[in-house]
């Protein structure tokens, strides 16, 4: 049994491509070519060169001594916070911009909620000198002004989605409409392991560099490739997919996924998608999503903008349903406390998304000899104001 996507893009019962007829040619072009292009030596060479010289890979695998001491187990941190632009997202946008070039595209579109994926996309478009249009809900444009400014500074055009709730899902609709109207010259860069096949699998493969590195780094430090557990926070699930990727079919490595409970799983203000989700279709993919009795998507809530997504990628829905992954929900308060603790124990201020992953120790006990790898998905600079307001610093 494999926990990777099959040829049709299914992880168990989840995944696939549920798209309007008019989008079929775009997805089909990508589906027919992505694996072939990714395995070309020239692609691999350029991808790895950019990851090294531009992104700053390999990112360190750091033994967190004081954190380990406190929780009486061996904790390693995979430092994706040290990637250029401050998080793992750029691994995927580098991969996809190279894919777009190979497919002969000269225009990029993307959607963004908090703006982090928009910034990572605008960054690689600037790097390649390619036109970039980012769709963003009108409300999010107001809430995330610094990221809007970053995207503009990088030369991207930010277009406001003014329909519906004027947030992420409306921006996604606008981006899909754009893609339908510009099928020949435009590539749509999706920012997580979500969307119709082949996106979840393609994005997971680009992010898989994370666990590829963990394996040899752990071999160097511990004399073995496999940790006892690999832990990551899950919004759409891309940093988690990258951290799990090379361990998915290794049952002795435990997989722990951390979701945002917001104000509590049963508070009505939550983003604990797997715990609360039911099977449905979002963004062209069959997965678990938060919805009302009659199938309307529920607005998610989390203090961290990056975990504030009503669905979860099909890989994670399958990990949840099959029991391969252990899912833990962490509230805003628990995450904020863990973020502060992490800052003061290790001198690393994590993104609030990542702080959720550091809060698992109240829920999960480890043995003294266990080796735990936590994926430190991003740095907390972007969240400083939220930390300051929360702790009245
Ligand atoms: C965007 C983001 C996430 C959530 O996205 P995934 O696709 O679930 O990884 C997590 N951490 C950071 C730092 C982010 O920027």
Strands 131-137 and 157-161: parallel
In this structure, the answer to whether residues 81 and 147 fall within a common structural domain is no
Proportion of the chain above pLDDT 70, given as a percent: 100
**Cα–Cα distance, 265 to 283 (Å, whole number):** 23
How many Cα atoms are found within 13 Å in the side-chain-facing hemisphere of 14?
A: 30
Q: Could you tell me if residue 198 is inside a domain?
A: yes
CATH code of the domain containing 234? 3.40.50.1100
In this structure, the answer to whether residues 212 and 279 fall within a common structural domain is yes
Q: Could you tell me if residue 9 is inside a domain?
A: no
The pTM score is: 0.98
Ligand 1 atom index nearest CA of 351: 13
Query: What's the pLDDT at 299?
Result: 85
For ligand 1, atom 10, name the residue with the nearest CA: 353
CB 314 within 8 A of CB 48: no
In this structure, the answer to whether residues 226 and 258 fall within a common structural domain is yes
Catalytically active residues are: 89, 111, 377
In this structure, the answer to whether residues 66 and 126 fall within a common structural domain is no
Q: Could you tell me if residue 2 is inside a domain?
A: no
In this structure, the answer to whether residues 262 and 133 fall within a common structural domain is no
Query: What's the pLDDT at 143?
Result: 85
Q: pLDDT band for 178, please (50, 70, 90 cuts).
A: very high
CA 38 – ligand 1 centroid, Å:
23
CA 116 – ligand 1 centroid, Å:
8
Query: Across all residues in the chain, what is the average pLDDT?
Result: 96
Mean predicted confidence (pLDDT) in 236-258: 98
Query: What's the pLDDT at 167?
Result: 86
CB 354 within 8 A of CB 81: yes
Q: Could you tell me if residue 367 is inside a domain?
A: yes
CA 211 – ligand 1 centroid, Å:
16
Query: What's the pLDDT at 120?
Result: 98
Ligand 1 atom index nearest CA of 81: 13
For ligand 1, atom 13, name the residue with the nearest CA: 378
In this structure, the answer to whether residues 113 and 181 fall within a common structural domain is yes
Q: pLDDT band for 116, please (50, 70, 90 cuts).
A: very high
> Tens of pLDDT along 287-298?
999 999 888 888
How many structural domains comprise the chain? 2
Q: How is residue 260 written in tokens?
A: 């945002």
> Tens of pLDDT along 69-92?
999 999 999 999 999 999 999 999
Q: pLDDT band for 276, please (50, 70, 90 cuts).
A: very high
Indicate whether 162 pLDDT > 90.
yes
In this structure, the answer to whether residues 214 and 199 fall within a common structural domain is no
> Tens of pLDDT along 345-354?
999 999 999 9
In this structure, the answer to whether residues 222 and 317 fall within a common structural domain is yes
In this structure, the answer to whether residues 343 and 319 fall within a common structural domain is yes
Mean predicted confidence (pLDDT) in 182-196: 97
Buried b (16+ CB within 10 A) or exposed e, 278-306: eebebbbbbbbbbbeeeeeebebbbbbbb
- Which strands form 157-161's sheet, in the order they lie side by side? 157-161, 131-137, 107-112, 186-188
Name the residue range of residue 371's domain.
Answer: 58-86+208-391
**Cα–Cα distance, 164 to 151 (Å, whole number):** 24
In this structure, the answer to whether residues 74 and 120 fall within a common structural domain is no
Indicate whether 305 pLDDT > 90.
no
Pocket of ligand 1 (CB under 6 A): 87, 89, 116, 192, 233-240, 306-307, 351, 353-354, 377-378
CA 222 – ligand 1 centroid, Å:
28
For ligand 1, atom 1, name the residue with the nearest CA: 306
CB 202 within 8 A of CB 34: yes
Where a domain ends, among 170, 203, 236? 203
In this structure, the answer to whether residues 155 and 111 fall within a common structural domain is yes
Ligand 1 atom index nearest CA of 378: 13
* Alpha-carbon torsion angle 81, 83, 86, 90, nearest 10: -120
Where a domain ends, among 172, 203, 234? 203
Q: Could you tell me if residue 387 is inside a domain?
A: yes
Ligand 1 atom index nearest CA of 194: 7
CB 40 within 8 A of CB 337: no
In this structure, the answer to whether residues 66 and 106 fall within a common structural domain is no
Residue whose token pair is 């993104």: 351
Proportion of the chain above pLDDT 90, given as a percent: 93
Q: How is residue 334 written in tokens?
A: 């628990």
Q: pLDDT band for 1, please (50, 70, 90 cuts).
A: confident
Q: Could you tell me if residue 10 is inside a domain?
A: no
Strands 107-112 and 186-188: parallel
Where a domain ends, among 203, 237, 254? 203
CB 263 within 8 A of CB 269: yes
């Amino acid at each position: 049994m494999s926990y990777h996507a099959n040829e049709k893009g299914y992880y168990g019962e989840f995944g696939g491509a549920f798209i309007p007829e008019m989008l079929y040619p775009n997805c089909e072009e990508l589906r027919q070519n992505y694996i072939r292009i990714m395995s070309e030596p020239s692609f691999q060479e350029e991808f790895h060169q950019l990851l090294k010289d531009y992104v700053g890979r390999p990112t360190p695998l750091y033994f967190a001594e004081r954190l380990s001491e406190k929780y009486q187990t061996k904790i390693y941190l995979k430092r994706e916070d040290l990637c250029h632009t401050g998080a793992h997202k750029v691994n995927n946008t580098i991969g996809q911009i190279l894919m777009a070039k190979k497919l002969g595209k000269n225009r990029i579109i993307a959607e963004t909620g908090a703006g982090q994926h928009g910034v990572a996309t605008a960054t690689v478009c600037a790097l390649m000198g390619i036109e970039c249009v980012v769709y963003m809900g009108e409300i999010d444009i107001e809430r995330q002004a610094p990221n809007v400014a970053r995207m503009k500074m990088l030369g991207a055009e930010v277009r406001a989605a003014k329909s519906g709730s004027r947030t992420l899902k409306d921006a996604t609709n606008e981006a899909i409409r754009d893609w339908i109207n510009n099928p020949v010259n435009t590539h749509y860069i999706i920012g997580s392991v979500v969307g119709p096949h082949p996106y979840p699998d393609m994005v997971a493969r680009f992010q898989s560099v994370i666990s590829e590195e963990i394996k040899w780094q752990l071999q160097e430090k511990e004399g073995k490739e496999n940790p006892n557990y690999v832990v990551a926070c899950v919004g759409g699930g891309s940093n988690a997919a990258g951290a799990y990727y090379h361990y998915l079919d290794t049952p002795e490595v435990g997989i722990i996924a951390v979701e945002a409970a917001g104000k509590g799983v049963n508070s009505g203000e939550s983003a604990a998608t797997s715990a609360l989700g039911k099977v449905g279709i979002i963004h062209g993919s069959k997965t678990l999503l938060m919805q009302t009795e009659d199938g309307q998507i529920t607005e998610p809530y989390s203090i961290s903008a990056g975990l504030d997504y009503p669905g979860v990628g099909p890989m994670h829905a399958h990990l949840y349903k099959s029991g391969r992954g252990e899912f833990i929900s962490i509230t805003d308060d628990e995450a904020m406390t863990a973020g502060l603790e992490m800052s003061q124990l290790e001198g690393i201020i994590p993104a609030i998304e990542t702080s959720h992953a550091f809060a698992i120790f109240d829920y999960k006990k480890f043995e003294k000899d266990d080796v735990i790898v936590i994926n430190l998905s991003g740095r907390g600079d972007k969240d400083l104001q939220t930390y300051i307001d929360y702790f009245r610093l």
